[in-house]
Structure 1
Amino acid sequence: MGITEQYYHEWKTSSKKTTTMTTAPAKLYGKNLSEYDDLDVDQLLSQLSPEEISILAKEVDPDDNLLPPSERCSYECNKEATGPLNRKKLIEHINKQALETPDLPELKPYVAGTIRGKKWIAPETNGKTEHEDKIAIDIDDEYGDALDGASQEEIIDLAAILGFHSMMNQDQYHASLLNKGQPVGLGWDGVTKATQPKVYPPEPPNQTDPEDSIKRVRDDDPKLLDLNWNNIKNISDEKFENLFIALVENTHLETLSLVNVGLTDRLAGKLAEALEKNCTLRVCNVETNFITPIGIVHLIKSLLKQRSLEEFRATNQRSQVLGNKIEMEITKLIEQNPTILRLGLHLEYNDARHRIASHLQHNIDRIRQSRVGANSA
């Protein structure tokens, strides 16, 4: 008899003995569990033969995810490999077996129109739920009398004032805020109907002539304070370059809007060079273009030299996320700018948003204090 069979026999005999005694301590192979604490498992395994080890391995599932499933399960396939795996032939064989295998016969054949089993019938509720939760609220007599005598419209208005949005629908809430009176048929049990959206006429296309505006910027027209090229399509790079060259010598233009005109990094670099030398521009808007985060940093860095721009907007570019490194660099540049008051840029990190907002507020407070001091003097 092998060691494993001997242990198994001792365990069976000990288990039979211990099942009759409910107060006896737990035992394994006729010994208390505490006696196995100092047992050398490696020494016991070294005494087993390869056959006994294979038998023991089938009864034990090692909790090791690094072992392949074929070595963890007790099933062993002794067949030799017939060749490399051919997935296509395997799928064809499985499909063939599935088609050739007959379906299991039904116990009862299907008959159209025949209802089997019991039909579910909803219980009669008489319009009332079985469990109605009632909430008792202690209200003063004065408030209780006022609420008892209040109409439904007055209660809806009170709920809107107190901010109980879940107690009313959208039409009731807006009617209460605008003091319009409640719509007919929209009480507590009313259903809000979809309102037709208002049709607004499309915005007319931008009629600004790029050639004429470039000429006016080059001639430093004192009446040209706001230049808007928003949404003008197919503006050539040559026209942009001519505009930026003319912007260098201009002393009257205050607002430059270049939204959705297809600006790239190369043109943004030309604009940055113009912003470094222009001293009258106060607002620059380059939203909805194809400027990369590096190009935005270049534009913001150019504002440190001229220090006259108060508002800069550059959201909705091709790259929506700037990244932590770019946002920190933009934050450092903004903190060095004493004139910027508004920045239109989407920042993802709270640290950058907080530091930029604090600096912009500091600039606004400083300009306000200087204005108040000049008026008082």
Structure 2
Amino acid sequence: MTSRKLFTKDHGQLDDVDVDDLLTQLSAEELEMLSKEVDPDDRFMPPDQRTNYHCEREATGPVNRKQLIDHINKIALETPDQPEAVPFVAGTVRGKKWIPPEAPVIHTREDEGVSFHLDEEYEQALGTATEEELVDLAAILGFHSMMNQDQYHASLLNKGKVGLGWDGVTKASQPKALPFEPPNPTDPEQAIAKVTDDDAKTIEVCLNNIKLSDDQLTRLFKGLEINTRLEVLSMSNVGLTDRTAELLAQAIEKNSSIRVINVETNQISANGIVRLFRALLVHKSVEEIRASNQITAHVLGNKAEMDITQAIEQNTTLLRVGLFLEFNDARSRVATQLQKNIDRHRLRRTGRAPRNLTAGYILKKALPGQKPVDD
């Protein structure tokens, strides 16, 4: 049984005493003295209430960190060192000397300076493998990406030009410097004038990488509304926004000659892209549209992708779409519809399908007394 003695005295008779009654009999000064003697071990209490020391001095001003550190360093330097109980003797070891544990011995395989360790079963399997089997294993594990094509073939053939075989060291080939792409020589004002005048020779306009003002874009799209010759319009990285994209959508709804539209790398939002795809349903003359890599719409979102998918499924002439779709359902449905459109276009081109189809090559079942009707 645990001893109930405190300072060699038995205090077992205090077990039945109510502590709250004792505290109510103490004065304020006695409670303060008691709180200084007791240090509660409660981590939820503030530190200033858990410590026995309470500073009663008045604050001298705001805290100056540099001055406080200098003062602490000064006190540390001025405080004398405590003398050791046992004088220091050179060469004398006191206490137990620490001896590092022995490192486990790992059996390694030395192969021209390369050390590695394998389990016994892997060591046995790879020890009898041929070079062709090792190449196949490296391809399965993805090790082929650790070297380029030159290193790979040189290692296989052991040419000695780039590599020295599988037992040697290969080096990377020098990258080929590609020339800079020349700037776009198209004059935007001249292109806008040709589109507005419905020039018969202007069937393609490329304005890629030319920053166009809102006034130029407005005049271009106004001219596109009445144009009957233009077939290809490339406007990649020209500064298109939702406002100017709305003007482009209105022009597409009024133009029936355009076949290819490229608006990649602009600032069109997801709603603006949906608006463009819905505008294609008016005349259904566009066969290819590219609208990926938008600065403000890297990820379209589920709702926008479903709206775009529904617009594509209603379009029977669209053959190619350049747009990143995140969700598998949208990608699958779009790919299926584009394949149907390509098959339908091939049938029309080879003359095996009527050219007046509007919703696909569908042969409806005739009612009794009626002939089948091609929709």
Q: TM-score, normalised by structure 2?
A: 0.63
Over the matched positions of the two proteins, sequence identity in percent amounts to 31
Cα distance in 2 for partners of 1:203, 1:130 equals: 48
- Report matched runs for 1:188-227 at 5 Å: 188-227=166-205
Aligned residues of 2:207 and 2:238 also touching (Cα < 8 A): yes
Alpha-carbon distance, 1:198 to partner: 0.3
**Equivalent residue for 2:66, pick from 77, 91, 97:** 91
**Residue 284 (structure 1) aligned with residue 261 (structure 2):** yes
Aligned residues of 2:252 and 2:279 also touching (Cα < 8 A): yes
Which residue in 1 is equivalent to 2:340?
A: 366
Cα distance in 1 for partners of 2:77, 2:291 equals: 69
- For the residue of structure 2 that corresponds to 1:256, the secondary structure is strand
- For the residue of structure 1 that corresponds to 2:198, the secondary structure is coil
- Amino acid of the residue matched to residue 179 of structure 2? P
Aligned residues of 1:172 and 1:182 also touching (Cα < 8 A): no
- Listed as ranges, the gaps of 5+ residues in structure 2 are 82-102, 354-375
1:223–1:159 CA distance, 2 compared to 1 (3 A): farther
Which residue in 1 is equivalent to 2:40?
A: 60
**Equivalent residue for 2:251, pick from 274, 282, 294:** 274
CA-to-aligned-CA distance 1:172-199 (integer Å, 9 cap, x gap): 68644x9983441432343332322101
1:224–1:98 CA distance, 2 compared to 1 (3 A): same
- Amino acid of the residue matched to residue 279 of structure 2? S
**Residue 187 (structure 1) aligned with residue 165 (structure 2):** yes
- For the residue of structure 1 that corresponds to 2:252, the secondary structure is helix
Alpha-carbon distance, 1:90 to partner: 4.5
1:323–1:81 CA distance, 2 compared to 1 (3 A): farther
- Amino acid of the residue matched to residue 316 of structure 1? N
Cα distance in 1 for partners of 2:156, 2:182 equals: 34
Alpha-carbon distance, 1:80 to partner: 3.5
**Equivalent residue for 1:357, pick from 312, 331, 343:** 331
Aligned residues of 2:39 and 2:52 also touching (Cα < 8 A): no
**Equivalent residue for 2:214, pick from 237, 249, 252:** 237
Aligned residues: 310
Which residue in 2 is equivalent to 1:114?
A: none
Higher helix share: 1
Cα distance in 2 for partners of 1:170, 1:346 equals: 30
- Structure 1 runs of 4+ off > 6 angstroms? 103-106
Aligned residues of 1:283 and 1:312 also touching (Cα < 8 A): yes
Aligned residues of 1:342 and 1:360 also touching (Cα < 8 A): no
**Equivalent residue for 2:223, pick from 246, 267, 278:** 246
- Listed as ranges, the gaps of 5+ residues in structure 1 are 1-7, 18-28, 31-35, 107-122
Q: TM-score, normalised by structure 1?
A: 0.63
- Amino acid of the residue matched to residue 237 of structure 1? D
CA-to-aligned-CA distance 1:260-305 (integer Å, 9 cap, x gap): 2222333223222212222232332222233344544443443343
